């Protein structure tokens, strides 16, 4: 997401930073390029126009034009205005009792999956979420929510599949909740391919009965301008309190994220950043603004790492690395850690200055799986003593992992190079310091992060 827009913005600001002095003409030309980039990214026309006008007015100030580094001053202004456009401060959920959250949106936006993702997040925060299936229009959604609830071990209320009265279901759910000791209820509601009168009436009646303090619109960020219009309609009908953007890990142009906050006046509270149930994040405007401008999100990366790794395991790993005892068993553990962090493209995008270089780094998940298959095809003794893996053993490992001898040899060669590199304790300390744990990330990727094959 935002890669194309980020590249264009980086080009514009690189030119501005390269000039010792700026004139009004320079700034106007740059802002024209930025406006076109925003429009190409599906940002609403009026939002792009007002945003550029705001940036231009501040950038034209005497303080900026006479600054020693006017280009950098303008980048800072743009970054601050962008964070403001995205919503300013992070918006928390209103969860005072009775805490009820109504999930609304069109079919295909990901309401049911997002309901489960939100429940898991609240559970990790120490709350006791309850899920309620109120999508009576699509029976498969009830089955899906039931399956996801089992996966995350959260209680779920499912109605009779023939029931069509959503208020009756809501009443049954509230009575059921009295026996569950929950602290927050999440209602997954029905959607349609497009907004129609029947859908709006059902949601209005349900909200009138529940009086939910949070009405979250789940919107597919890949739908561009349509998502903005959908947000306006739902807000007018049921009064949304916030937005959840799904598929932010995709290749959509990102205009919806930049437009919806401005058009509706309602904050974006969460974002779905992957297919896994744990790929769900609080939406922090200033962090996204930094990532869009190639400044990374180190705080977000540290938070992900802290959530994914066990402190004792990290210390044990650090000790093994420091004593040069790292083997393929440790390698597997690091791979599991990386899987918990999410797609590698997302992780690399959180590192300052890496975003634009992603296109040059091979992060094919298929190759990661092949590497894992090779390691799992080794015996425990081979994993702990990789130096004993001779030609005969390599052939067996290749056959067992469904790969070929060349791929096995490449992995072993890179692993050997990595272990040699780790003997340099100065490099080791630097790597460990960067990630707050042994190995500095994925230890099997020396040489710029490229996979062996």
pLDDT for 161 equals 86
pLDDT for 326 equals 75
445 located within any domain:
no
Looking at residue 206, which CATH number applies to its domain? 3.40.50.300
One-letter-per-residue 3-state SS of 123-143: HHCCCCEEEEEECCCCHHHHH
256 located within any domain:
yes
**Packed helices 139-152 and 111-124: angle between N→C axes, nearest 10 degrees:** 20
Same domain, 236 and 133: yes
User: Binding-site residues, please?
Assistant: 105-112, 188-192, 246-249
Q: Can you give the pLDDT of all 453 residues of the chain as single tens digits?
A: 566 777 777 778 777 776 667 777 888 888 888 888 888 877 888 888 888 898 888 877 766 666 656 677 777 888 888 888 887 777 889 999 899 999 998 888 889 999 999 999 999 999 999 999 999 988 889 999 999 999 999 999 999 988 899 999 999 999 999 999 999 999 999 888 777 888 889 999 999 999 999 999 998 877 766 777 888 888 888 899 999 988 776 655 567 767 888 888 888 899 888 888 988 888 887 777 776 776 544 445 555 555 555 656 666 666 666 566 678 888 887 777 766 666 655 555 555 555 555 444 555 567 778 888 999 999 989 998 898 999 999 999 999 999 999 999 999 988 887 777 666 544 444 444 443 434 334 333 333 344 444
93 located within any domain:
no
pLDDT for 206 equals 94
Residue 156's H or E segment, with its range, is strand 156-157
Distances, alpha carbon 183 to alpha carbons 102, 206, 209, in Å = 15, 20, 19
Closest CA relative to residue 344, chosen from 314, 287, 301, 310:
301
Same domain, 153 and 284: yes
Residues in the chain: 453
Q: Sign (positive/negative) of CA torsion 233, 237, 242, 244?
A: negative
Same domain, 251 and 175: yes
Q: How far is CA 13 from the centre of its chain?
A: 26
Taking the complete model, does pTM exceed 0.75, yes or no?
no
Residue 246 burial by Cβ neighbours in a 10 Å radius (0-12, 13-18, 19+): buried
Looking at residue 392, which CATH number applies to its domain? 1.10.260.30
What is the edge-to-edge ordering of all strands in the sheet holding 280-282? Answer: 156-157, 129-134, 184-189, 99-104, 214-220, 242-246, 268-272, 280-282
306 located within any domain:
yes
Q: In 10 A of CB 103, how many CB atoms? A: 27
Same domain, 149 and 268: yes
Closest CA relative to residue 9, chosen from 37, 29, 44, 28:
37
Beta-sheet strands, E only, within 196-319: 214-220, 242-246, 268-272, 280-282
Same domain, 341 and 234: no
SS3 of residue 243 by DSSP:
strand
30: left (phi over 0), alpha (psi -120 to 50) or beta: alpha
pLDDT for 435 equals 39
pLDDT for 321 equals 60
pLDDT for 92 equals 87
Same domain, 67 and 166: no
Residue 121's H or E segment, with its range, is helix 111-124
User: Binding-site residues for GTP, please?
Assistant: 105-112, 188-192, 246-249
Residue 169's H or E segment, with its range, is helix 166-177
389 located within any domain:
yes
221 located within any domain:
yes
Closest CA relative to residue 129, chosen from 112, 144, 116:
116
Q: What is the largest CA-CA distance in the chain?
A: 74
Phi, psi of 27 (to 5 degrees): -70, -40
pLDDT for 63 equals 65
Q: Residue 375 is part of which domain span?
A: 301-435
Q: What b/e sequence results for 19-58 when a residue is b if at least 16 CB atoms lie within 10 Å of its CB, and e otherwise?
A: eeebeeebbeebbebbbebbeebbbbeebbeebbeebbeb
442 located within any domain:
no
Same domain, 116 and 232: yes
Q: Sign (positive/negative) of CA torsion 380, 381, 386, 389?
A: negative
Same domain, 69 and 107: no
Looking at residue 14, which CATH number applies to its domain? 1.20.120.140
DSSP secondary structure of 50-103: HHHHHHHHHHTSHHHHTSSSHHHHHHHHHHHHHHHHTTSS------PSSEEEEE
Q: Among 262, 292, 322, which residue terminates a domain?
A: 292
Residue 186's H or E segment, with its range, is strand 184-189
pLDDT for 443 equals 38
Residue 104's H or E segment, with its range, is strand 99-104
CA–CA distance, 217 with 138 (Å, rounded to integer) = 18
92 located within any domain:
no
Residue 306's H or E segment, with its range, is helix 298-308
Confirm if 281 and 308 have CB atoms less than 8 A apart.
no
Distances, alpha carbon 448 to alpha carbons 143, 360, 361, 367, in Å = 44, 10, 8, 16
Same domain, 46 and 129: no
pLDDT for 143 equals 94
Closest CA relative to residue 93, chosen from 101, 104, 85:
101
R_g over Cα of the chain: 25
Same domain, 138 and 158: yes
Same domain, 49 and 191: no
Same domain, 226 and 207: yes
Total domain count, the chain: 3
């Amino acid at each position: 997401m935002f890669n194309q827009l980020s590249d264009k913005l980086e080009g514009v600001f690189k030119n501005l930073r390269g000039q010792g002095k700026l004139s009004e003409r320079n700034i106007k030309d740059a802002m024209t390029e930025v406006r076109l980039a925003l429009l190409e990214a599906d940002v609403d026309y009026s939002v792009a126009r007002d945003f550029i006008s705001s940036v231009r007015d501040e950038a034209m100030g005497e303080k900026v034009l006479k600054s020693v580094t006017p280009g950098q001053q303008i980048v800072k202004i743009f970054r601050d205005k962008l964070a403001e456009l995205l919503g300013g401060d992070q918006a928390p959920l209103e969860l005072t009792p009775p805490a009820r959250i109504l999930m609304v949106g069109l079919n295909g936006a990901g309401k049911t999956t997002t309901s489960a993702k939100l429940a898991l997040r609240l559970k990790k925060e120490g709350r006791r979420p309850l899920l309620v299936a109120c999508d009576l229009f699509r029976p498969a959604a009830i089955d899906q929510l039931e399956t996801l609830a089992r996966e995350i071990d959260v209680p779920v209320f499912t109605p009779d599949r023939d029931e069509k009265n959503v208020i009756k279901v809501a009443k049954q759910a509230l009575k059921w909740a009295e026996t569950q000791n929950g602290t927050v209820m999440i209602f997954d509601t029905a959607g349609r391919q497009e907004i129609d009168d029947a859908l709006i009436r059902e949601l209005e009646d349900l909200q009138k009965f529940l009086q939910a303090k949070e009405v979250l619109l789940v919107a597919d960020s890949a739908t561009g301008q349509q998502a903005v219009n959908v947000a306006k309609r739902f807000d007018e009908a049921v009064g949304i309190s916030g937005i959840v953007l799904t598929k932010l890990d995709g290749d959509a142009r990102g205009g919806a994220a930049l437009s919806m906050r401005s058009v509706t006046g309602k904050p974006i509270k969460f974002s779905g950043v992957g297919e896994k149930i744990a790929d769900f994040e609080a939406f922090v405007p200033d962090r996204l603004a930094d990532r869009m401008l190639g400044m990374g999100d180190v705080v977000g990366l540290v938070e992900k790492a802290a959530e994914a790794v066990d402190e004792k395991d990290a210390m044990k790993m650090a000790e093994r690395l420091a004593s040069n005892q790292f083997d393929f068993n440790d390698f597997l553990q690091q791979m599991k850690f990386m899987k918990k962090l999410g797609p590698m493209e997302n992780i690399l995008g959180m590192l300052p200055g890496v975003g634009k270089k992603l296109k040059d780094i091979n992060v094919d998940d298929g190759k990661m799986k092949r590497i894992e298959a090779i390691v799992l095809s080794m015996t425990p003794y081979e994993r702990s003593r990789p130096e004993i893996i001779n030609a005969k053993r390599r052939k067996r490992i290749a056959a067992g992992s469904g790969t070929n001898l060349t791929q096995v040899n490449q992995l072993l060669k890179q692993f050997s190079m990595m272990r040699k590199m780790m003997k340099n304790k100065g490099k080791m300390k630097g790597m460990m310091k960067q990630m707050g744990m042994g190995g500095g990330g994925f230890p099997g990727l020396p040489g710029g992060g490229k996979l062996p094959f």
